[in-house]
Amino acid sequence: MSFALDASTDWKFRYDLAKYDQDGNEIIYTIDETTVKDYAKSIDGYNVTNCHKSIESGVPRTGDESNPWLWFGLTVASLGAVGITTACLIKRRRMRNEAIEKNKE
């Protein structure tokens, strides 16, 4: 027997099956589920629980697996470039002011 559960069935299915076969032997029923990529299944009696593997580990993945030292280096280089640019602008302004002062004399 195969069936699919969804929100329209409130994720439940009820079935009535025979307890004994035609010879009077008790029938032992089991359930299983097909494997779904990135999900771990847990079966407890007739309850099946699926858990996404990234949630199961307890630590959600952010997708940021970059090298922090790379970002630190880029930050230092950027701050250095800002410092050099600022120093050049200050020097340029100072030279312009000196030239204006010379022209006034």
Contacts of 8 (CB under 8 A, 6+ apart): none
| pLDDT in the model for residue 73 | 93
pLDDT in tens, 35-79: 888 888 888 887 888 888 776 566 666 667 778 888 899 999 999
> Other C-beta atoms within 10 Å of 41: how many?
13
Residue 92: pLDDT over 90:
yes
pLDDT in tens, 7-46: 888 888 887 889 999 999 999 988 888 888 888 888 888 7
Which amino acid is it at 16? D
Domain ranges of the chain: 7-56, 66-105
The pTM of this model reads 0.37
**102 burial type by CB count under 10 A (0-12 exposed, 13-18 middle, 19+ buried):** exposed
